[in-house]
Chains A and B, each alone.
Chain A
Amino acid sequence: MTFQSEGQRSAESERFFADRSVDALMGSALSLTTELLLLSVRQHRIEEAVRGRDSRPAGGEVPLRPAERDWVRDRADQVVAAWLDPFGG
């Protein structure tokens, strides 16, 4: 994870959680899931452009448009469920 210093993360993990492996696993998964969603959005834009539904250059990095929001939200729910469903009781 790049968003906290090692010292901060260690102190917080030791304070709240016994398993350092959980910290590493969750941190990695959070970053990777975010990247996966970003890749999905880019791929979706390319597919829409290929199908002729989007006249913008394929793979554009323009901000999300309102029409894309529902698709992104549904896809985000899917990738999060795929990540967290295995954490059973």
Chain B
Amino acid sequence: MSPPAAPAPSLDLREDVQRELVLATRRYWAGPLYRRVVAGARRVGPVSGPDELERALARMPAYQAFGWLEQHLQTFKYTGPGGLMPAAERQRQVIEAMLAASEGRHPERLVLDPAMRLPDYYRDTDFHLVPGGIHSRSWDGVVYEWAAGTATMMQNESTDVHDSLARYLATVTPGRRILDVGCGFGPTVRALARALPEATVTGCDLSAPVLRLAHHRALAEALTLRFVQANGEDLGPFPDRSVDLVTATMFIHELPPPALRAMLRAARRVLRPGGRLVVLDFYLVPGGTLGRFFHLGHARRNGEPFMPALLELDLPAELRAAGFSAPQISPYPPGQPLDRLPESWRLPWTLIEAEALGGSDAA
């Protein structure tokens, strides 16, 4: 008989209303306001690049509102009067009891490393403008999960993308052993477990709080998943050639280039020859200069300091240098046009795939 479920944290009226206001503002921001900025940018005429466009639009009211909201709605979401961080902190004891109860069940499925040394770039960057990051407080995973429902992409997109990727991977995976790097609170690994019930799926991440929540969520769905605290730059706990498929969703844009190169080498090491790397991230930006203007502005205003550097990388060359062959890079979902902007603001989802070379060919 299952033990009774521990109480779960929830939002009070003010917090929930603020969340709905944030979502409504996101809808307006990504639709009518974005289209007004696009129309204004098209009136500017030819420009040399995103910087010139930025200067030309700096005084435009719609662009000032657009940029302000892109940045400050995030801050408001986390630390406003009904923000997610005070909501989680208020329920700290509930959250800790909930996570502790799950850790007592199947403790073998959650491997934390108290001696983990966080990389400087990770410790020092407030990704997505989360004050203090998501790695130090027991309730950070809950804040991260709540925030994902009001992220820059729309609420449904944030969950559908994991399920659609899992459905695709179910058709191409070269084996049953899957490792998801930078798994966060586990949306991709849970989707993989649902789509591939015979697979052995493991998620790894630097953050202990998000892994504790991922473990809790997996148990709540009766999914057999394993979570390991590990640095994607070395994937130290995972043996050579022990995995058939490595995935990473919304992860590599948070890595500075040296860390990304190390992560690719580590992924190659743990993959068996012929194994597959599948990354879903933001790389092919549609819409030329105007598209880059929006994407680079998003990086600057949303706490994504390494997003611009990813665009500058020659990813096929990086993949080959790390020991992969046949790199394929395409817009996601398939068929998204690259020659024009989307009608509503969206992140430039890109599917990046490659195959691990055989042992004698590996870099």
Contact = CB atoms under 8 A, between A and B. Distances in A.
Contact of A77 (B24, B43, B73, B83): B24
A38 interface: yes
Interface in B62-109: 62, 64-65, 67-69, 71-73, 75-76, 79-83
A63 B28 contact: no
Interface stretch (B14-22, B112-120, B140-148): B14-22
Given A87-B65, A89-B62, A3 B75 contact: yes
Interface residues on B, range: 35 or more
A51 interface: no
Contacts of B10: 63
Contacts, number: 112
B28 A23 contact: no
B327 to A, nearest CB: 35
B68 A3 contact: no
B81 A2 contact: yes
Q: DSSP class of A's interface residues: helix, strand, loop or mixed?
A: helix
B40 A89 contact: yes
Interface in A24-63: 26-27, 30-31, 33-34, 37-38, 41, 61-63
Given A80-B28, A87-B36, A87-B65, A73 B20 contact: yes
B65 to A, nearest CB: 4
Interface string A75-89: 011011100110111
Contacts of A77: 24, 27-28
Contacts of A73: 20, 23-24
Contacts of A19: 59, 64
Contacts of A79: 21, 24
8 contacts: A3-B75, A4-B79, A17-B64, A18-B58, A26-B65, A31-B81, A69-B20, A79-B21
